[in-house]
Amino acid sequence: MFDAADRQRGALETLRLVVSDLPPGSVVALRRADKDPWDPLGYGTHFYIADVHEIIETEPGGGSDAAVRRLACVYRLPIARQQASNDMKKPWHRACCAMHPYDRNCETRRMCVGRRPHGSSTSLMKVEIEADTIFETGITLTSSGLLTMESKRRLAKSAPSAGRAEWLAALGLMDPTNAPERKQRAKKR
């Protein structure tokens, strides 16, 4: 059963993303498919984060207000101790296909080159996605790669009603409906 928040979220999801919504280098949140695996580490998050690399296909008409169909993105994974993690409170770094933070040495490191997808010329975890998998644009990160509080709140608003408490906990946010009452301080004179 859908409640008002689910219906509003559904209406927003039907809006088409246009070229001006997705400039190269911007960070977006991607909807997780039900069939996506929860292993290995880095795949066990409630959503995925990616940098827009380039727009591949738009609807006919062109221009900055043309609807985007497909785009190339570079995945970001939450990283703990230089390896992928499922902890969404950790910094989100651009990922190498060997499941660690990408750096320029990944292009020559044997472990990274050996884990490249067939036909790929880079060790970046680059994928082509459909624009309708994006549920939030304009995600901001701190200089260390952590999600900003504003981004966490926006992502939490996009959580399904049934799993909202789980998303809030994973993002490190308190559920306002279950927040403890604040104690009144005694005034000193």
Return the pLDDT at 2: 40
Mean pLDDT, rounded, for 102-126: 92
Residue 157 burial (C-beta neighbours within 10 Å; 0-12, 13-18, 19+): middle
Mean pLDDT, rounded, for 155-182: 78
Q: End-to-end alpha-carbon separation of the chain, Å?
A: 55
**pLDDT-based confidence at residue 92 (cuts at 50, 70, 90):** very high
List, for residues 123-145, the tens digit of each pLDDT value.
Answer: 999 999 999 899 899 999 999 99
pTM: 0.79
Question: Do the Cβ atoms of 111 and 3 come closer than 8 Å?
Answer: no
Instruction: Tell me how far apart the alpha carbons of residues 73 and 55 are, in angstroms, rounded to a whole number.
Output: 9
Instruction: Tell me how far apart the alpha carbons of residues 73 and 50 are, in angstroms, rounded to a whole number.
Output: 6
